[in-house]
Amino acid sequence: MTTTTTTSSPLTLASVQQAHELIKPFIHLTPVLTSTYLNTLASTPQTPSALSNTEWSSRPPSSPVLRLHFKCENLQRIGAFKARGAFHAIARLKQSPDFDPSRGVVTHSSGNHAQALSLAAKTSQIPAYIVMPSISNPSKVAATKGYGAQITFSGPTAPEREAAAQKIISSTGATLIPPYDHPDIICGQGTAALELLSQVPVPLHAIITPCGGGGLLSGTALACSEIKTKVFGAEPSFEGADDGRRGYYAGKRVESVKSLTIGDGLRTPLGKIPWSIIYTRKLVDGMYSVTEDQIKAAMRLVYERLKLVVEPSAVVGLAVALYNEDFRKMVEEEAGKEGWDLGVVFSGGNVSLSALGDLLKE
């Protein structure tokens, strides 16, 4: 399935900058927060007992120095960074002579892109058709309906979602706006990193973002493509949800994922276009994964110390910085005593109150 638009953005830093100019009237400039406590925790070696049942149990704990800068996209419109890509894709689509607004737009998404596209389409008075897996978070389904979209439920896998979207395209003539595998989406998502770089008063040594389909990570890589700031991806390891990491180090994209990780926004396989930026062009410097318990622990810390509501997918980058010894050892070796200023993107905060209670309970 492809869109009918002929205005897709080149995959460059300039395109990310142009995307930011287009969407600034429609998005929030989300804040960047810091925490002395979390900096201290990230810069303290893990205890041997914490590592006892891990792959790092036989080596001394690493001692990185990390200063964390949190880009709070959980405070973005619709509660997630996805608003950036959706508003940019709609703006670019409206510039195409091939686009008929009355036919609408269609996408398939587990939740955040669904909400984002629904809002962006409503803002431009364009019909939106959304395919959502039947196992989608109920709060995300309700929010998507609230923006006026027409929802069709499907099976959980990418092929099932795509088949349902194709039926809608055939019957309505709607234009597909994929959740991550499209240049306009990628460039829109990269604007979060563009802002982050300008909001932090010191040069960032690196930025780490969650990686599902790869739109945010590849967009971040484009935003950093002409500077020295390194870019890293973070994923859950549960049931093979770390397809991006596995593919990155094997040199071959993993094309399917079947995982019920609590990071529900990260259950999709890495897209072809993000892969071309992340791996083929080598614009991402490494990929790391964390466990479900580590994700929950990071969520609890964010809630208790930053007083922010974040969904599980949002904190995988922080969890990597706190708990992944391969990442921490790399920082220790590369940065030494000076340490790193690390940008951490909190991708979203769309989690129901009942689910939040279950995730944070002891």
Active-site positions read 82, 110
Query: Does 6 score more than 80 pLDDT?
Result: no
Cα–Cα distance, 133 to 131 (Å, whole number): 7
CB 316 within 8 A of CB 235: yes
DSSP 101: G
**Chain segment 168-219, per-residue pLDDT in tens:** 999 999 999 999 999 999 999 999 999 999 999 999 999 999 999 999 999 9
Residue 218's SS3 state is: helix
Q: Long-range CB contacts (< 8 A, 24+ apart) of 163-167?
A: 164/108, 164/131, 165/1, 165/106, 165/107, 165/108, 165/129, 165/131, 166/1
Name the fold adopted by 82-181: Rossmann fold (3.40.50)
Instruction: Give me the half-sphere count of Cα atoms (radius 13 Å) on the Cβ side of residue 34.
Output: 15
For residue 360, the surrounding DSSP H or E stretch is helix 353-360
Percent of the chain with pLDDT over 70: 98
CB 306 within 8 A of CB 31: no
Cα dihedral sign, 193-199-200-201 = positive
Which architecture characterizes domain 32-75+190-360 according to CATH?
A: 3-Layer(aba) Sandwich (3.40)
Exposure of 240 by Cβ count < 10 A (0-12 exposed, 13-18 middle, 19+ buried)?
middle
CB 231 within 8 A of CB 257: no
Compute the mean pLDDT over every residue in the chain, rounded to the nearest whole number.
94
Q: Which two tokens stand for residue 271?
A: 């897209």
For residue 85, what pLDDT is reported? 98
**Chain segment 277-299, per-residue pLDDT in tens:** 999 999 999 999 999 999 999 99
CATH 3.40.50.1100 in the chain, residues? 32-75+190-360, 82-181
For residue 1, what pLDDT is reported? 44
CB 224 within 8 A of CB 191: no
Residue 80's SS3 state is: strand
Query: Does 301 score more than 80 pLDDT?
Result: yes
Which of 234, 240, 191 has the alpha carbon at shortest distance from 214? 234
Whole-angstrom CA distances from 135 to 50, 93, 118, 176 are 33, 30, 19, 22
CB 214 within 8 A of CB 244: yes
24 Cβ contact partners less than 8 Å away, ≥ 6 residues apart:
none
**Chain segment 109-162, per-residue pLDDT in tens:** 877 899 999 999 999 999 999 999 888 878 778 889 999 999 999 997 778 888
The strand ranges marked E within the chain are 32-33, 66-72, 105-108, 128-133, 150-154, 175-176, 206-210, 230-236, 286-290, 340-346
Which of 96, 131, 97 has the alpha carbon at shortest distance from 114? 131
User: Residue 244 carries which side chain, given as an amino acid letter?
Assistant: G
Highest mean pLDDT among 100-104, 107-111, 133-137, 356-360: 100-104
